[in-house]
Structure 1
Amino acid sequence: MQRASPPARRGCTHRCSSLESEMVPTHGGWPMSDRTRLEVIDSDGHVIEPDTVWQDYSEPEYRDRLDRPGGGVQELGMVRAYPDAVAAVPTPPDGESWAADIGSEQWDDEARLKMGRPGGYDPHARLIDMDAEGIDVAVLYPTSMLTWVDDAELFGAACRAYNNWLHDYCSAAPSRLYGAGVVPLQDLDAAVVEMRRCVEQLGFKAIMLRPAAYRDNQKLNHPDYDPFWDAAAGLGCPIGIHPSPHGDMPNACSLLGLAEGVTDPINGLALRQGLTNAFDVQMAVGLFVLGGICERHPELRVAFLEGTGGWIVPMLERFDHQFKIFGSPDQSTIPSEVFARQCVISFDPDEVTLGFTAEHLGADKVIWASDYPHPDAKIPGVVKELQEAVESLPAESQAEVMGRSARRFYGL
């Protein structure tokens, strides 16, 4: 079922309305109109979906299956990922983020406070945080909807509900908050329809995909996915490849057995996220630049997110070396050239290889992400950390990393 436009919310606790004519963000002391400083664009921020998404935005025929304790898709996906877990996710307070109490025993106070920041689910609070940090623009990715449900029809309904909610969230400041939609790629036709709606009706600037097999263990470079890549390229819609450290899909976490016997998904998260995010994103880079996806779809744009970035230079060198020796049945272009033509990679500002990569790969191929409001986000202080990371680069390269690359990639 496709909706022509986002539905009105039922029982909203905070209706989004444009603030742009009502407030002039100071951006940490710099007026927004002052372009003597560099534009700062967060290429991968997150929302924390409130439990009310499923009550207020689900189509009636799916509401009972999605509006459930633990936050709908988040609960369904976690139960799939951790069958031995007693309680996959906590039940949130009414109208608040399910994340407000997550990790109450396992995480330290600072991590819990970040995950529970109101800006995750309230755009007005987010704008205050962005102004305090000096962030001009943020492109927003999900949290609960990073989880996956193999029921294509139900997941498609969840995608529509989430995308409509995200549209309302971003409408608080449509020139500062931009959405990355989610689509049910296990149903290619439905995924194309929802992607088109996200771009043409909701104004989203990207589609988020996990670096994992969506259909019958078929890797993303399987020809069956080609109609989706064709449609994305035709729409000019970038793809944001974003990992999740849970074994709900065929990915590194499930392959390495890191979810087996886990009774609380928070336990062991440091190992799963520290290891599998990079593993999955590296696999995806290979499939796109050496596995033929980008070669077959030269207008497609791809961002590789939240898998760290310091490995990309040596990995592309190795891909090129192997390609020159052995060739590839999937493509005729050197992988590094494919990456340079169509891809960007995201860094956290505290990665020591950010400057090195900008110098060797090109600053126009590097974007940065706050991960706000997830626990590893450095809030406050992320923009200051970013400025320190790029201060040794030429002025033009600093401008690319801090915002220009992201503006060009996302078409902002």
Structure 2
Amino acid sequence: MTRAYNAVDADGHILEPLDLWDKYIDPEFRERRPRFVIDDNGKERLSVEGKLLGNPRGIGSLGSVGARQGIVKPGTLKYAEGRKGGFDPHARIVDMDADGIDAAFLYPSLGLFAGAVEDPGLAAAMCRAYNRWLADYCKPYPERLFGVAMLPMQSVELAIDEMRFARETLGMRGGFLRPNPYHGKKMINDPMYEPFWKMAEDLDFSIGFHEGSTTAMPTVGVDRFENDRAARHMVSHTMEMMLVALSVIWGGVVDRHPRLRIAFLESGGGWIAPWLDRMDRHFDDQGFNESAPKTRPSELFQRNCWISFEPVESSIAVLANYIGPHKIMWATDYPHSDGFFPGAPQMLRDRLGPLSAEGKHQVLAGGALGFYGLG
């Protein structure tokens, strides 16, 4: 890479076009492809074999960046009216330039719900179609737009196939998984996933965990806040990520696979320090460490893991000193309604004052470059 990277969005999103699965899905799955529908309440949803996915309030919010600041009124946009850069890479580059963002790593929007698709073959076909489209979206700007592959963990074998295709055919550097359990209550350190982790290590393929706010997958704690959407959002994103971090670190995934790179995304970052401290305390306690990994949890995090903060988190400079600025990333969440656009890089700079110039660079760009294998 010849471009200088001084501000890197580690977790941006695209908006899947309405005809993505019409055009890109393999012919044998065309009749079963996802479809955009209007539900009984007049809301836009994604329908997959009769199951409605996405926010019951409608999926238009996925493109409503600016709602946080009052620039866009929540609930007023239809999905197709969402921020143009979600659909169009050329428009996205204009928005990135306006914010001084040099590169963006791109995750899905509707595809965040794909983990709820029950049939492994259909899930794999959806992922293959999406990844083909995403590669085309990124193609005009190969040094600025980087696709993160969608992986069908409904089948470990099919997830491995798609990871290999994404890496070897499409040239993608990483893929994403939901932190929620895919197979009943089996966490990601279950022995059934060992072939997946071995292949990710062999392919030098980064894995980012990203929640998606749908109760169609097992989601911890949301049953306690059935009538409070904000509370469910807070619970699902942060607590599911804490559990998968526990599974990856304490559960031994990165202990067994020392070259893996794993990130915990869109869940805030402030929880990681006390969570690592708690793991370390149990590691040191002879009465509690019968299931501990061989290596100290905080050391495993330093070797193998990264975490993404939101640009408005006031603790980011303190945590950068605590866990190391090179282990921290940030994200715009563009073009989602709770995203940070415009102005995310400046929000970060305003909070990074105590850090050295090198520390600031690591948070703004170096952490993401290291995680995705560009550094």
TM-score by length of 1: 0.80
Structure 2 residue matching 1:119: 3-state secondary structure? helix
Distance 1:159 1:310 in 2: 32
1:216 shift after superposition = 3.4
1:117 equivalent to 2:77? Answer no
1:270 shift after superposition = 2.1
Distance 1:77 1:318 in 2: 43
Structure 1 residue matching 2:360: 3-state secondary structure? helix
1:217 equivalent to 2:185? Answer yes
Report the residue type matching 1:246 in the other structure.
T
Q: In structure 2, what is the equivalent of residue 130 of structure 1?
A: 96
The 4+ residue runs of structure 1 with deviation greater than 4 A are 87-90, 97-102, 110-115
**Change over 3 Å in CA distance of 1:277–1:101 after alignment to 2:** closer
Distance 1:373 1:402 in 2: 19
Deviates more, 1:319-328 or 1:348-357: 319-328
Distance 2:29 2:58 in 1: 21
Unaligned runs of 5+ in 2: 39-43
Structure 1 residue matching 2:36: 3-state secondary structure? coil
**Change over 3 Å in CA distance of 1:67–1:293 after alignment to 2:** closer
Q: Give the % identical residues.
A: 38
Q: In structure 2, what is the equivalent of residue 227 of structure 1?
A: 195
Q: In structure 2, what is the equivalent of residue 94 of structure 1?
A: none
1:251 equivalent to 2:219? Answer yes
**Change over 3 Å in CA distance of 1:113–1:201 after alignment to 2:** farther
Task: Count residues in correspondence.
Answer: 358
1:280 equivalent to 2:236? Answer no
Counterpart of 1:405 (choices 360, 367, 370) is 367
Distance 1:330 1:173 in 2: 44
Q: Deviations over 1:31-74 (max 9, x none)?
A: x97x6xx7100000001111110111111221222142249994
Report the residue type matching 2:180 in the other structure.
A
Counterpart of 1:377 (choices 335, 339, 348) is 339
On the 8 A contact 1:133/1:380 being kept in 2, the answer is: yes
RMSD (Å) for aligned C-alpha atoms: 2.8
Structure 1 residue matching 2:47: 3-state secondary structure? helix
Q: In structure 2, what is the equivalent of residue 291 of structure 1?
A: 251
Distance 1:155 1:344 in 2: 27
1:78 shift after superposition = 9.7
1:365 equivalent to 2:327? Answer yes
Q: In structure 2, what is the equivalent of residue 20 of structure 1?
A: none
Unaligned runs of 5+ in 1: 1-31, 91-96, 263-267
Report the residue type matching 1:48 in the other structure.
L
TM-score by length of 2: 0.88
Distance 1:178 1:328 in 2: 41
Distance 1:390 1:213 in 2: 35
Report the residue type matching 1:223 in the other structure.
P
On the 8 A contact 1:211/1:251 being kept in 2, the answer is: no
Structure 1 residue matching 2:35: 3-state secondary structure? coil
On the 8 A contact 2:222/2:232 being kept in 1, the answer is: no
Deviates more, 1:48-57 or 1:66-75: 66-75
Counterpart of 1:312 (choices 272, 283, 294) is 272
Structure 2 residue matching 1:184: 3-state secondary structure? coil
Distance 2:34 2:190 in 1: 34
Q: In structure 2, what is the equivalent of residue 302 of structure 1?
A: 262
1:197 shift after superposition = 0.7
Q: Deviations over 1:275-324 (max 9, x none)?
A: 21000001111111111111111111100000100111111111101111
Report the residue type matching 1:355 in the other structure.
A
1:212 shift after superposition = 1.5
**Change over 3 Å in CA distance of 1:201–1:229 after alignment to 2:** same
Structure 1 residue matching 2:223: 3-state secondary structure? coil
Distance 1:389 1:333 in 2: 33
Q: In structure 2, what is the equivalent of residue 26 of structure 1?
A: none
Counterpart of 1:76 (choices 35, 39, 48) is 48
Q: In structure 1, what is the equivalent of residue 28 of structure 2?
A: 61
On the 8 A contact 1:350/1:385 being kept in 2, the answer is: yes
Map 1:187-202 to 2 at 5 A.
Answer: 187-202=155-170
Deviates more, 1:58-67 or 1:316-325: 58-67
Structure 2 residue matching 1:329: 3-state secondary structure? coil
